[in-house]
Amino acid sequence: MIDLITKEEATVVYTLNSSERQLLSTKAIKGSENEQAQVVLLSSIKQESLWLRCDCTNDPAIMTIRNRDGNLHLVNIHNRGHHSEQCAFYKLINNKDKEKTAHEKLGMKQSFNFHKLATEKKVDPEAPIVKSGQKNKQSEDTLYRLIACLFESAGINEISSRIPLVYKERVKRILSAAEQFRLGSKSLRSEMFWGIVNHAKAYEAIEKEISDKTDINNVPTKLILSVIDNYDFTDMGMTVSSTIRNPSGEKKINITLDADCKVVLANKRFTSEDAPFILAYTLIYDTKDNRNIIRVGRAYIRPLASIHNLIPCDNRFERSAINKCESVYDYNKKRGNILKIVRPLLSISAPISHQAIRPDIIMHSAYNKAIINVFANSEEEYLKVRHGQTQYMEEIAQVYNITPEQSNDTQEGQLTISDGNIHEIIKASAKFVLNIED
Ligand SMILES: [Zn+2]
């Protein structure tokens, strides 16, 4: 029997039923339904700060849940009882340690390389190349892939109390997640700078490496990530601005990125009015044709749901939906209902058809799962593509689609859906996920 107990008084809050016990005591296949159910159950226990007590011996083993490399694991608390060698949890916990060593040997770091991108052809500054990331999700922009991997690994794309919805706290997580990745042959953390305020520092770091190095053709690329309020294309290049918030007040700073850098906007459905944005750009030492200059290699811009959560999004309807998810999460948490809400940043594979799908939001609890999609458009072609994806998403969960409509009272072509309507659909999916009757 496995009891969930409070840490202080060891009061039994809940006893796992046999299927929950089975779920936690077996190792799930990566990416399987079972794994996701495990994550939901483990994270809800962790969020409630409960321990698990296994009574397989007279000296019951106490287990807790640890976050290791972004994955939740059951571990035994040292000197707090023990399992019998026949206990499924004994086997699970002891095997896992061996596995981890093997996994570590493989090396987990994913590497991003911008050497090829650094020498990309010069772009006419009059017409900055604006590539839509929307058309073909398979050929995602490299800078976006980097943001997505980094933010997912930092847990930034999750709406939960695991990481407070506080700008500084989230930036800290992103910086520490950067230690798991490489940029070229270096650790991403050592080559990454947060905030355009540190542009000069990144520039100086390259200057220093040029003066230290004999091989100037191999000066490492630097990456700058920043939240920005505005961007504007001028003859000089792209001017971006950012607000620095200190206890002493706010300060606005501007910088202009070289005219010949390549700028990719996530899609064409947002404008510079739709702040805040995440900006990522590379700073490179360009030695092509003996130019030998430090310049911006390329840049990528995408809207964020909010300055607090730093969750990348596509458009204003999706932003509204993500922010409504926060209030639905809080509302339910106060009532003891734990939801896990994730905004996937990379495509996932549908389990049966193996089609690549990209749900906008996935919501789950220990009982059910739902996918919430926010359509940005009511064009026939767009809807065809998105509805075509729905059937594959249904392989995973119940699908809720939020579709904006042509508005009568605003200008032609303007789409509208009220925040209230978005809220209602998200509340309905939460009720479904939590098995709550009306
Ligand atoms: Zn046991």
User: Amino acid identity of 173?
Assistant: R
What's the whole-model pTM score? 0.70
Between the CA of residue 412 and those of 269, 304, 374, 407, 415, what are the distances in Å? 16, 26, 21, 8, 9
DSSP 312: B
| Number of C-beta neighbours around residue 23 at 10 A | 19
Domain boundary among 101, 124, 154: 101
- State in Å: Cα 61 to ligand 1 middle: 6
| Number of C-beta neighbours around residue 275 at 10 A | 18
Of 172, 158, 174, nearest to 329 by C-alpha is 158
Q: Which two tokens stand for residue 272?
A: 């510079």
- State in Å: Cα 86 to ligand 1 middle: 8
pLDDT in tens, 321-356: 999 999 999 999 999 998 999 999 988 888 888 888
User: Amino acid identity of 43?
Assistant: S
- Residue 83 and residue 53 share a domain: yes
Surrounding residues of ion ligand 1, Cβ less than 5 A: 54, 56, 83, 87, 89
- State in Å: Cα 81 to ligand 1 middle: 9
Is the bond preceding residue 276 a cis peptide, omega within 30 degrees?
Answer: yes
- Residue 297 and residue 324 share a domain: no
Q: Which two tokens stand for residue 282?
A: 């590379």
- State in Å: Cα 57 to ligand 1 middle: 7
- State in Å: Cα 148 to ligand 1 middle: 39
Please give the average per-residue pLDDT across 103-128, as a whole number.
44
- Residue 417 and residue 321 share a domain: yes
- Residue 74 and residue 124 share a domain: no
Domain boundary among 250, 269, 303: 303
Q: Is residue 419 part of a domain?
A: yes
Indicate whether 121 pLDDT > 50.
no
DSSP 137: T
- Residue 325 and residue 287 share a domain: no
Q: Is residue 311 part of a domain?
A: no
pLDDT in tens, 155-182: 899 987 677 888 999 999 999 999 888 8
Indicate whether 362 pLDDT > 80.
yes
Q: Is residue 144 part of a domain?
A: yes
- Residue 265 and residue 235 share a domain: yes
- Residue 325 and residue 427 share a domain: yes
Domain boundary among 101, 129, 153: 101
Q: Is residue 80 part of a domain?
A: yes
Helices in 77-166 by DSSP H: which ranges?
88-106, 115-118, 142-154
CATH number for the domain that contains residue 349: 3.90.1570
Indicate whether 130 pLDDT > 50.
no
- Residue 404 and residue 322 share a domain: yes
Q: Is residue 308 part of a domain?
A: no
Indicate whether 195 pLDDT > 90.
yes
* Of the listed ranges 40-54, 248-262, 301-315, the one predicted with least confidence: 248-262
Q: Is residue 309 part of a domain?
A: no
- Residue 182 and residue 59 share a domain: no
Which segments of 304-429 are extended strands (E)? 340-342, 348-349, 356-357, 361-364, 369-374, 398-402, 405-406, 415-416
DSSP 335: T
What's the N-to-C CA distance of the chain in angstroms? Answer: 34
Whether the CA torsion 285, 291, 295, 296 is positive or negative: it is: negative
- Residue 225 and residue 164 share a domain: yes
Range of the domain at 254: 112-303
The pLDDT value given to residue 136: 38
Q: Is residue 310 part of a domain?
A: no
- Residue 348 and residue 272 share a domain: no
10 Å CB burial of residue 34 (0-12, 13-18, 19+) is middle
- Residue 416 and residue 341 share a domain: yes
Q: Which H or E element spans position 428?
A: helix 419-434
| Number of C-beta neighbours around residue 138 at 10 A | 7
Indicate whether 119 pLDDT > 50.
no
- State in Å: Cα 39 to ligand 1 middle: 20
- State in Å: Cα 27 to ligand 1 middle: 15
Q: Is residue 107 part of a domain?
A: no
- State in Å: Cα 76 to ligand 1 middle: 10
| Number of C-beta neighbours around residue 223 at 10 A | 25
When pLDDT is cut at 50, 70 and 90, the band that residue 186 belongs to is confident
Between the CA of residue 114 and those of 165, 212, 263, what are the distances in Å? 31, 21, 14
Distance between CA atoms of residues 174 and 177, nearest Å: 5
- State in Å: Cα 88 to ligand 1 middle: 7
The total number of structural domains that make up the chain: 3
